[in-house]
């Protein structure tokens, strides 16, 4: 079930802005909000929303400049739709660090689609350090897209 972590108004506005940034980047926000997909939505160092499906679990801990997350897929689970991870920041400047641990069980099949959205980026660092454990006969794929706003230049 898709669940906002809090109903606190500034967090809700931030969540809505993250969904709008995903839309600007060409993504489909309904993939995040429908509850049909496993999802994790993180803005800066706040976990704004998550949706777990049977066999997949998200644990996340806020840090001063990002999050530490453990994503676990129980053994013998086949997840037919991509797991959507929405990482980003609305600020123009700052650092977002994602420290992730992926634990994929034996005989699993899972695909991750990470949407990294930074619609107002001027001076941002987005850093990720990941440990990935894939069980025997399991399949895992990870695809990441980045959106740095319409005014960002290489």
Give the Cα separation of 80 and 82 in Å (integer).
Answer: 7
CB atoms within 10 A of CB 22: 24
Mean pLDDT over residues 121-140, rounded?
95
The whole-angstrom separation of Cα 31 and Cα 49 is 13
Q: Phi, psi (5° rounding) for residue 111?
A: -125, 135
The pTM for the full model equals: 0.90
Going by the DSSP 8-state scheme, the letter that residue 24 receives in this structure is H
Predicted local confidence at residue 3, as pLDDT: 66
d(CA 36, CA 29): 12
What is the Cα–Cα distance from 95 to 45, expressed in whole angstroms? Answer: 9
Asked whether residue 8 carries a pLDDT value surpassing 50, the answer given is yes
What region, left, alpha or beta, does residue 121 occupy, with left being phi > 0 and alpha being psi -120 to 50 degrees?
A: beta
- Residue 53 forms beta bridges with which residues? none
Q: What is the pLDDT of residue 154?
A: 46
Supply the mean pLDDT for the chain.
91
Rounded-to-integer distance, Cα 56 and Cα 74, Å = 6
Residue carrying the six token digits 């990935």: 132
């Amino acid at each position: 079930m898709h669940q906002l972590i809090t109903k606190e108004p500034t967090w809700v506005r931030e969540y809505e802005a993250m969904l709008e940034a995903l839309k600007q980047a060409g993504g489909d926000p309904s993939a995040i909000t429908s509850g049909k997909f496993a999802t994790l939505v993180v803005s800066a160092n706040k976990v704004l929303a998550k949706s777990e499906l049977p066999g997949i679990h998200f644990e996340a801990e806020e840090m001063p400049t990002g999050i530490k997350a453990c994503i676990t897929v129980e053994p013998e689970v086949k997840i037919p739709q991509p797991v959507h991870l929405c990482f980003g920041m609305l600020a123009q400047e700052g650092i977002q660090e994602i420290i992730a641990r992926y634990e994929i069980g034996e005989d699993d099949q899972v695909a991750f689609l990470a949407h990294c959205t930074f619609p107002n980026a001027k001076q941002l660092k987005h850093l990720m350090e990941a440990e990935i454990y894939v069980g025997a006969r399991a399949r895992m794929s990870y695809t990441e897209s980045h959106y740095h706003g319409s005014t960002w230049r290489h």
